[in-house]
Structure 1
Amino acid sequence: MSDHAPKPAPDEAEHAARVVPLTPRPEAPRAKEPLWRHLVGDVLRHERRTQERTLKDVADEARISMPYLSELERGRKEASSEVLAAVARALGLSLAELLARAHGRLAPAPRTTTSSVTRLAPRHGRTPGRHSSELRLAA
Structure 2
Amino acid sequence: MVLFRRVLGEALRAARMQRGMTLREVSKEARVSPGYISEIERGTKEASSELLGSLCQALDIPLSVVLREVSSAAALEERALEISTPQIAGRGGDVVASAA
Is residue 2:34 matched to residue 1:93? Answer: no
Larger relative contact order (CA 8 Å, sep ≥ 6):
2
User: Structure 2: which 5+ runs fail to align?
Assistant: 83-88, 95-100
The structure in which a higher percent of residues are helix is: 2
Larger Rg: 1
User: Over aligned residues, Cα RMSD in angstroms?
Assistant: 1.9
Q: TM-score, normalised by structure 1?
A: 0.54
Partner of 2:98: none
2:29 aligns with one of 46, 61, 80: 61
**Structure 1 residue 94, shift from structure 2 partner:** 1.7
Matches for 1:71-82 after TM superposition, within 5 Å: 71-82=39-50
Matches for 1:11-26 after TM superposition, within 5 Å: none
Q: Deviations over 1:94-125 (max 9, x none)?
A: 22111111111122555xx9754xxxxxxxxx
Partner of 1:40: 8
Q: Deviations over 1:22-77 (max 9, x none)?
A: xxxxxxxxxxx220000000001111111111000011101111100000000000
> Aligned partner of 2:8: which letter?
V
Count of residues in Structure 1 that have an aligned counterpart in Structure 2: 83
1:60 & 1:78 partners in 2: Cα distance?
20
Identity %: 37
Partner of 1:83: 51
User: Structure 1: which 5+ runs fail to align?
Assistant: 1-32, 117-139
**Structure 1 residue 89, shift from structure 2 partner:** 1.0
1:102 & 1:89 partners in 2: Cα distance?
17
Specify the SS of the correspondent of 1:102: helix
Is residue 2:36 matched to residue 1:50? Answer: no
